[in-house]
Amino acid sequence: MTDLALLAPAATEPVVATAPVPPRRRSRRLAPGLVLALVVLALVLGWAVLPSVFAPADPTQVVAADRLLAPGPGHVFGTDQLGRDIYTRVVHGAAISLSATALAVLIGLVVGSLVGLLSGFVGGRFDDVVMRLVDVLLAIPGLLLAMAIVTALGFGTLKVALAVGISAVAAFARLIRADVVRVRGSAYVEAARVSGVRWWTTLHRHVLPNSLGPVLVLAALELGSAVLAVSALSFLGYGAPPPAPEWGSLISDGRNFLATAWWLTTMPGLVVIAVVLAANRLSRALDREGRTR
């Protein structure tokens, strides 16, 4: 006889409804390296805006009795061969160096973005000609190009800023052109064209806002590169004439005393390195934030 129990349907366990588990929110805490970079940039910006608050002394004051003093409690960065306080000169030089850096980045950002925006949006032969010129500029090292430009323009902080800014135009133009070409084929841009929206309205309402993300990352990265370029040109004597305390000229003034007074070049050099590293760290954070959105 067949066992009827084997033919009976198996009992099913009751299903208990469970509430959906909400997704975990990502922690928005800033990384320690980014916090340190922001502190460095904020401090240097404070030096540039309010130098007399951080260093009330006169950066050009000569004290013969204090010449070539090593870093210590009275002079945290030491003194130079004329007895001038290095810390005071570095703080007051931040306004000169950072203003030239900011102007250089602004020139590269505005001019390069305009060139890349028009080239990518117009396309065709105009795009080919502009991009070949950009390729030529990118093939020349930036510092070499800046030196050639500043030699043609003349010496001075403003001329240095113009030279560094012009040398950065090609990088901005190449980046924004690639993003504009991507955005130009989007559905909303095509819909705007079909509906009869004027091309410049489409350009500034739809194309430009959706192409600025990578450009801001490059601007933060170029900030560090511009600090190096401006300091290098000032080191070579193209910047403001003495006794203006530009960072590059401070490093240049101490190169003849490396064996006996290392702090003359080390202290301004460490400030330049700290600003460059902080700007690079900020650009990496902006890039990572843009990729996660």
Q: What are the pLDDT digits (tens) for 160-179?
A: 999 999 999 999 998 888 87
Q: pLDDT per residue over 188-226, tens digit each?
A: 666 766 676 676 666 666 666 666 777 888 888 899 999
| Cβ proximity of 188 and 202 under 8 Å | no
Residue 150 to residue 171: CA distance in whole angstroms: 19
Q: What is the reported pLDDT for 44?
A: 95
Structural domains of the chain in order of their starting residue, each with its CATH number: 54-64+94-292 (1.10.3720.10)
Question: Are 168 and 105 contacting, i.e. CB atoms less than 8 angstroms apart?
Answer: yes
Q: Phi, psi (5° rounding) for residue 236?
A: -80, -5
With cut-offs at 50, 70 and 90, classify the pLDDT of residue 117. Answer: confident
* Per-residue pLDDT, 97: 93
250: pLDDT strictly greater than 90: yes
Give the up-direction half-sphere exposure of residue 253: CA atoms within 13 A in the CB hemisphere.
Answer: 23
251 confidence band (pLDDT: 50, 70, 90): very high
Q: What pLDDT is recorded for position 47? A: 95
52: pLDDT strictly greater than 80: yes
Indicate the pTM of the whole model: 0.81
Give the per-residue pLDDT at 76.
Answer: 93
Percentage of residues of the chain with pLDDT beyond 70 = 79
**Which pLDDT tens digit goes with each residue over 3-46?**
544 444 444 555 444 545 555 555 567 788 889 999 999 999 99
H-type alpha helices, the chain? 4-7, 32-49, 51-54, 86-122, 124-139, 142-153, 157-184, 187-194, 199-202, 213-235, 247-253, 263-292
What average pLDDT does the segment 268-278 reach? 95
Over residues 82-108, mean pLDDT? 93
CA gap 54, 76 in Å, rounded = 13
